[in-house]
Structure 1
């Protein structure tokens, strides 16, 4: 809000408030006479001088606040924000004082017919509301302070933010400062729109059931009057029958109400989980680099449960108690307006306590969910790597880690329990005091013949019922705050837009690609180009893993990427798969950026076989056909397995292609998993095949089978191989050496050996490892110095001849 208009408006209203309260106090004339009467002959029951004094103090306070804001903007608004709760309490206390004055004044006959009293009584309540709003408006003023050509913008609850000073302060004040988006209850309810038919039916049954419950205390009082006072059998029987009918109808409709809301709650839970999982699964890979799996799992399980169950359940409870409260208040005023006013004093106090408690409880609930998410992450990490835990005998260590994580959640739970205990103490003590006050005042009314005994019994029953309603409404507010705290991360994930978008810019019918022949679906040739690519991972934005990298892979060409570990080879694969986007440069496929291809089409044309392929806890057939249509034929799967040299060992298994692979493929050996992964890649008939250390972790026999499966299926495909072993690299058409994020060499195997550069040193290092093994064997068999010298000479000849043979065989 802007300062000057707000201050002017609030000042004007304060003057109107003072003028009105003065006119009402002196009845429009003789102000001095009424003032003297109030000072010298003040009577709490008859005089309204105290209300005039409250009005004058209110005027001084509001005018003082407005003038201080006008004179000292920043300091005054800061103080107002600190004391606004005190002002709200003062306004509430004034209203309660006025109601108590009305009740005591009603004891004097004829005093309630004074119209001036009713006018000043009503205006006092209006003015108390205005004082709270006056404080709120002033606290919401934007402050613009110029400091060293910068503007400091502050609003309620915000930290100071410096922005470049552009234009006038009025222009600055229109710019909203950055605030943290808070989940609102309305956002929770908005997800229930598809369930409106069930909710409407539930509300209908709820209204019938609650309305029936409202009449039970009333007819209870009628029964008491018919027995004690009137001694009428007919009225007694009639009241009992009516109560029985109402009870039966209320019970039936209550059951129907529960069915409707339970069904709505289940549907809401499924919907929110689907939306959350759908949003998370669409996020870029960088998101999963930073967010732990256990955290996401916790949001999908505990947070969504708290969120959906609490919202629907509390909506049911709140509506039922709201209807009951309205009906009860109507009957209470019908029975005794005096006792009703005394009872309703409790409402603002309970709501105020619930508000303060609910906000603090929401923060604690959010912290509990975060702590449980951390504990779930520890458990998920340990259980997913149980073989590693067992091999290092670290079960006790993992239990300690999990126990420590749970202890953090427990400490926050202790705070929650303490706060809840304090809340219960306050509400219970207040309700007890209110009950004693109602009994005392109600007994006084019965003794003075103002209220009958049966009506007092009915009123007390209504008051007890209203107290339960207030308790449940307070718990509903707390529950909704807990749901809001739990749903903050849920909505944050649902609303999150992926940084790397899979937007369809190249219109291709991806659904028709799978299952077509190679000629029909071959819409790309496989030309790959990296042009001046610089890249850093989102989790490490200050470290460039690729620096101005450029190379080309021609259609049908086999290119090997070699170099020391951490040089950036796998990062090239990640960029080509469009897991990430480069900082600068482009990755082109058939002269078109990879981000312009449809996500599904791109990954049907590009297949990846990694060093540790992930298999799912499904059958081998489902793993090979993963991501394809469910009606894929077994013949297609078998053909792909045959190309991958996997068909033979699959057929030797008891259930063959229906054999379960186990979690992450743990029921299979490393070589078997690799061949199934190759079959999974080949079944898509890719134009580009990416092999990222596909054989590095295998024994010689498994490596031979996997390499045979790879190289017999390379024809007509553009292939990028990442490998360290010479036997894998030397067969490539071209070798690109990448070190420290830069391309330092490029050529064939023989060309790079003749250059005697980084690649030659890598090859020499592999061969020297073999030399050392041979030397150790020679020494163990013959300690003769001559024999050792001959062996070393033979090894040197072996290295040189290997290079020459490799070079000549390549040509």
Structure 2
């Protein structure tokens, strides 16, 4: 703390010394000598150069490295008096009170104005922003490239935009008294009709087309990501990218560029017309631009932060609703309706708080720019009166100038708004492209598609931890072989790695060490679609999609005959109950299969796996939802498939006993393996698990 305080004192002392040197130059006795020798403008700028050099050199010698804000302040501080004096002489043809006879008040005025200019410069164009500007430019050009398919619509909209601006100028242009106002009516009608119908329609179509294209590309990229990505990324964030950010990104070119180009052309036209009336008043009006830009920059900073916080709160509120909807049975069972309502109300209150803060910031901004506009109107009337008295303009010209200035003020505020909006769009584009460009950690670039596949699985020295918790090792030096035509059962306490073996075999994750071989080749070397057609999985809670039973059985297949569907349903013991339904295989299952029982959903899931005629079938705790008769029929149907590798995770004793190989997994490693009888004779872990975990009484005989 003492070192920091000492450093601050040293910096303040250095700055005071630099200012003292500057004051001595500002009031140097040689000032008048230079004035007599060199005259007006040469003296002004030579003095400014000398002051800048002296103050900068002294600051460098004392401080060593100058911060960008200080460099900007010193530059504006040294040059502003010369700029002010030059502008005064050009505008009024006379010397200002802050000329050679300047006093401390002028010096303080220049210092304050320089500090304001430096702060404005730092806020609008911060140091080190070149990299950010370059990134924004790259992102913007990538969005432009997405509009290539809609270039005809954009071109047509630009043509009608140009015509609208031309008509606008014809309407606003001052009459010379020889033309009647009725002659401007055709231009007004044409502008209104083509502006609303043609330009807006064409650009709207382009925006909608590009937005759909962006959402399609983003969704396709998301579906290619590994499971670990969805475990570490919030659902609300993904939905926000697809809905809010993709929509905002789609408007970047079509809407913002349209408004920017239109407003820019109108602004240039207004400035031209105003310059023709009074270039002095026009320069005064343009002084409003940096002030408006500064206010907009400050407003955008706070508004974006509060908007993002509000979006995050809305995402959390949506997640709360989803949790209650999907767990409504649990909510009703524990009678926690009031608790969930209070939790949702807290989320709504959080959203309301952020929205109130955001609207307050907006209200303050609107008040600020309206006060700024009012002050500018007062300045124009004041200086306009002076110019009228001096004969530099007429009253009619001042009235016309005020009309143009009101339009120019709106255009300038629109430009600042569009720049802020484009900044938001580019930020949204960066988030969307971040997902689009992301390479999945589990590669799908394999090319191997052998004509014959045996189905031999080999786990070799496998070590794995889930991406969401890398510190917890689930599998450690895991080795196991699954032989074709045999049934292998994985048993062991919960959380020891059984389901992880299945997930790795599905290539939902990539092991940190070791690999899994299929017929002697690593899984990643196989073609993605070929591999998942040859390996089918039925989980304990199979996922069904809205649609018919036929659609769910043939999910992902395009050329599946009715005979093949029915054969798979028979093996899964699902054909009989399907035929009893009124519409048979065309029966709607409802959202997530809600119109079917758990057992029926389970059998449809098995049929969906078997219809692909896979070489490797994985059953993960599927028999928990089936009665003994259904289980026996399913196992018989699976046994009728020759040379099929079957991997089963089950807690039913009857299912385990029939396995050709039983593997006991504990601590992420293979502890025992063999047949049921071999493991019972060992009197080891399997024998103990049989007594602790397997309940023959509850297993239907």
- Smaller-chain TM-score bracket: 0.7 to 0.9
Q: Distance in 1 between matches of 2:430 and 2:162?
A: 32
- Which residue number corresponds to residue 214 of structure 2? 272
Residue 561 (1) aligns with residue 490 (2): yes
* d(CA) in 1 for partners of 2:142, 2:339: 42
d(CA) in 1 for partners of 2:256, 2:143: 12
Could you list the per-position Cα deviations for residues 339-394 of structure 1 after superposition, in whole angstroms to 9, with x for gaps in the alignment? Answer: 11111111222223323332343333333333322322222333233333333333
Structure 2 unaligned residues grouped into runs of 5+: 1-24, 96-109
Partner of 1:584: 513
- The answer to whether structure 1 residue 644 and structure 2 residue 593 are counterparts is no
Deviations 1:681-718 (A, max 9, x none): 01100000001111124444554554454x44443201
Structure 2 residue 207 is the aligned partner of structure 1 residue 207:
no
1:480-533 deviation line (CA, Å, top 9, x unaligned)? 23334444432322221111111123256xxxxxxxxxxxxx621101101111
Aligned to 2:480: 551
What are the residue-to-residue correspondences of 1:496-515 with 2, within 5 Å?
A: 496-506=438-448
1:541 matched to which residue of 2? 470
Aligned to 1:390: 332
One of 282, 300, 308 as aligned partner of 2:250? 308
CA contact (8 A) 1:567 1:740 kept: yes
Contact in 2 for aligned 1:674/1:706 (Cα 8 Å): no
Following the alignment from structure 1 to structure 2, what is the Cα–Cα distance between the partners of residues 275 and 534? Answer: 34
Question: Aligned pair in 2 of structure 1 residues 591, 478: CA closer, same or farther (>3 Å)?
Answer: same
Structure 1's 600 and 560: CA in aligned 2 closer, same or farther, altered over 3 A?
same
Question: Does 2:544 align with 1:604?
Answer: no
**Cα drift, residue 253 of structure 1:** 3.1
Distance in 2 (CA, whole Å) between partners of 1:438 and 1:96 is 21
- Cα distance, 1:312 vs. partner? 3.3
2:607 corresponds to 1:679: yes
Note the 1:286-297 alignment, pairs <5 A.
286-297=228-239
CA offset at residue 573 of structure 1? 0.7
What is the match of residue 60 of structure 1? 54
Mapping of 1:60-99 within 5 angstroms?
60-64=54-58, 66-67=60-61, 72=64, 76-77=65-66, 80-81=67-68, 83=70, 97=84
Does residue 253 in structure 1 map to residue 181 in structure 2? no
Change (3 A) 1:733 1:85: farther
- The answer (yes or no) to whether the contact 1:284–1:580 under 8 Å persists in 2 is yes
Equivalent residue number for residue 317 of structure 2: 375
Q: Which residue of structure 2 lines up, in the alignment, with residue 363 of structure 1?
A: 305
Q: CA deviation at 1:557?
A: 1.3
Aligned equivalent of 1:101, options 88, 94, 97: 88
Query: Which of the residues 401, 410, 430 maps onto 2:343?
Result: 401
| More contact order relative to length (CA 8 Å, sep ≥ 6) | 2
Judge conservation of contact 2:55–2:74 (CA < 8 Å) in 1. Answer: no
- The answer to whether the Cα contact below 8 Å between 1:366 and 1:482 also exists between their aligned partners in 2 is no
- Take 2:583 and 2:54, find their aligned partners in 1: how far apart are those partners? 89
| C-alpha distance in structure 1 between counterparts of 2:55 and 2:147, whole Å | 45
Deviation (angstroms), 1:184: 5.1
2:107 paired residue number: none
- Say yes or no: does 1:667 pair with 2:595: yes
Structure 1's 87 and 434: CA in aligned 2 closer, same or farther, altered over 3 A? farther
Aligned to 2:15: none
How many residues end up aligned between the 2 structures?
Answer: 648
Return the match for 2:453 from 499, 518, 524.
524
Q: Distance in 1 between matches of 2:79 and 2:420?
A: 22
Match 2:682 to one of 755, 769, 792: 755
Which residue does the alignment assign to 2:35? Answer: 35
Q: Is the 8 A contact 2:45 2:82 kept in 1?
A: no
- Cα distance between partner residues in 2 of 1:605 and 1:733: 21
CA contact (8 A) 2:455 2:519 kept: yes
| Distance (whole Å) between structure 1 residues aligned to residue 210 and residue 309 of structure 2 | 24
Secondary structure of 1:696's partner?
Answer: helix
Equivalents in 2 of 1:401, 1:93: separation in Å?
A: 58
Segment of structure 1 superposing worse, 98-107 or 357-366: 98-107
- For residue 632 of structure 1, report the CA deviation from its aligned partner: 3.0
5 Å matches for 1:46-195?
53-64=47-58, 66-67=60-61, 72=64, 76-77=65-66, 80-81=67-68, 83=70, 97=84, 101-102=88-89, 104-106=91-93, 156=128, 185-195=140-150
Instruction: Report the CA distance shift for 1:98/1:730 in structure 2 as closer, same or farther (over 3 A).
Output: farther
CA contact (8 A) 1:605 1:686 kept: yes
Match in the other structure for 2:6: none
Tell me if structure 2 keeps the 8 A contact 1:556–1:715. yes
Aligned to 2:582: 654
Distance in structure 1 (CA, Å) of the matches to 2:161 and 2:344? 44
Match in the other structure for 1:14? none
Q: Which deviates the most, 667-676 or 208-217?
A: 208-217
Q: Which has the larger radius of gyration?
A: 1
| SS of corresponding position for 1:474 | helix
Residue 614, structure 1, aligned to residue 535, structure 2: no
Deviates more, 1:336-345 or 1:209-218: 209-218
Alpha-carbon spacing, 1:65–1:759, altered in 2? closer, same or farther (3 Å): same
Q: Secondary structure at the match of 1:529?
A: strand
Change (3 A) 1:482 1:183: farther
Structure 1 residues 364 and 309 mapped into 2: Cα distance closer, same or farther (>3 Å)? same
* Equivalent residue, structure 1, for 2:172: 217
Alpha-carbon spacing, 1:366–1:427, altered in 2? closer, same or farther (3 Å): same
**1:721 aligned partner:** 648
Distance 1:257 1:472, change over 3 A: same
- Identify the residue that residue 476 of structure 1 maps to in structure 2: 418
Which residue in the other structure is 1:414 paired with? 356
Work out whether 1:441 is the aligned partner of 2:383. Answer: yes
SS in 1 for 2:659: coil
**CA deviation digits over 1:38-96, x for unaligned, max 9?**
9xxx9xxx88866655444433344445556xx73xxx34xx14546756876996698
Partner of 1:690: 618
Tell me, in whole angstroms, the C-alpha distance in 2 between the residues paired with 1:507 and 1:372: 46
Name the CA distance, whole Å, in 2 between partners of 1:604 and 1:569: 22
Q: Unpaired runs of 5+ in structure 1?
A: 1-21, 23-29, 109-123, 141-154, 159-175, 227-234, 509-521, 774-801, 803-811
**Deviation of the 1:748 alpha carbon:** 0.7
State the TM-score, normalizing by the size of structure 1: 0.73
| TM-score (norm. length: structure 2) | 0.84
Change in 2 beyond 3 A, CA 1:348/1:189? farther
Q: What RMSD in Å do the two structures reach over aligned CA positions?
A: 3.5
